[in-house]
Amino acid sequence: MKIPVTLNDTKIVLEAEPGDKLLNVLRRQNLLSVKCGCSKGHCGACTVLLDGKPVPSCIVPVALSRDSKITTLEYFSKSEEYQDILSGFKKAGITMCGFCNAGKVFSAWHILSTSMKPDRKMICEEVQHLSLCCTNTDILINGILYAFDFKVQRMGAQKNAKN
């Protein structure tokens, strides 16, 4: 089956069986930031952005992504938002182990992009389902709060530069 998608800002046609997991199809495209963790959609290791929303690609049949915009960490890591998140994580002492990075980063991005001023409780509710192998929830919350600070600073600086 041919499935047209916009993968990391490039229009391509994926060749796959309709029931194939999006995770496996993306890994076949050599997008290795998408990792196979629990295979049940719990752990976050396989998270990608599907039309701007973080989804566990291990439970998404590839046919559902037809005509969608898929973003993986490989592409997202070139963005300014990623740099904010990375700086926040670094300040909090979060290890980027390479296995659960997608879950951590896309969860943080989702919170930063949907909340005007995230607080600990709200972040905790958003991230406590994640089963991260290297980071505890407390430190992840700190990292996201620091990332928010970096985002605000960057946007402020950009606004000032325009003025």
Partner 1 sequence: MPKSTGKKVRSQKNIRIPLQVHDYYTDCSRAGMLYAALIRSPAASGTITNISIPQMPDGYFLYTARDIPGDNIVHTLNSDTPVFCADCVSYFGEPIGIIVGPDESEVYELTSEIEVTFDSSTLESALESVAKKYTRPVIRIPDSGQKPDSKRISEITRALNSGTALNPQASPLPVKPLFPSAAEKSSAITAQRIVKTGIFSEDRQNASDDVFKSADFDIAETWIQDTEQPSWAETNGAFCFMENGIINIFTPTQWPNYLRKAVSHSLNIAEDKISIRETNSSGHTANGIWRNATLAIQTAVAAYLTGKPVKLTLSREEHQKYMKSGVPGKVHCRTAVMKDGSITAMQVDIVTDVGACNPFAQEILDRLVIAACNIYNVPNICITAKAVTSANPPTSIFPETTDSQSFFAVENHLQLIAAETNILPLDIRLKNICQDPKDIKMPFAFRTGKVENVFLNVITMSDFNRKYTTFRIDAKQHRGSEDTFFALPLRGIGLACAFDGSGYFGNDTFSGNQKIAVTLETDNTVTIHSLVPSPAVSEIWIKTVSTILKIPSSSVTITPDMELNDAIPIPDNIYSNISIMTQLLNNCCLEIEKKKADAVLPLTVKKGLTPSMKKLWNKSDFRGIPFHTTSFGAAVVETELDPYTFQEQIKGIWIVIDCGRILSTRAAENTIRLSVQQELRQLVADETIICDSIHISFVQSEANPGQIGELVHCIVPAAFSSALSQALGFRIRKLPCTAETIYSQGVKV
**Interacting residues with partner 1 (CB under 8 A):** 30, 32, 35-39, 42-43, 45, 93, 95, 97-100, 124, 128, 131, 133-139
Shortest distance, CB of residue 105 to partner 1, whole angstroms?
16
The CA distance from 109 to 79, in Å, is 11
If the CB atoms of residues 81 and 106 are measured against partner 1, the closer one turns out to be 106
Instruction: Name the nearest CA neighbour of 8 among 33, 41, 42, 43.
Output: 33
Task: Please check whether residue 33 is in contact with residue 102, taking contact to mean a CB–CB distance below 8 angstroms.
Answer: yes
Shortest distance, CB of residue 38 to partner 1, whole angstroms?
4
Shortest distance, CB of residue 72 to partner 1, whole angstroms?
13
Amino acid at 88: G
If the CB atoms of residues 71 and 143 are measured against partner 1, the closer one turns out to be 143
Q: What is the dihedral of CA 78, 34, 147, 135, to 10 degrees?
A: -140
If the CB atoms of residues 18 and 98 are measured against partner 1, the closer one turns out to be 98
Q: Which token pair is 63?
A: 């046919």
The CA distance from 160 to 98, in Å, is 35
Shortest distance, CB of residue 154 to partner 1, whole angstroms?
25
If the CB atoms of residues 68 and 130 are measured against partner 1, the closer one turns out to be 130
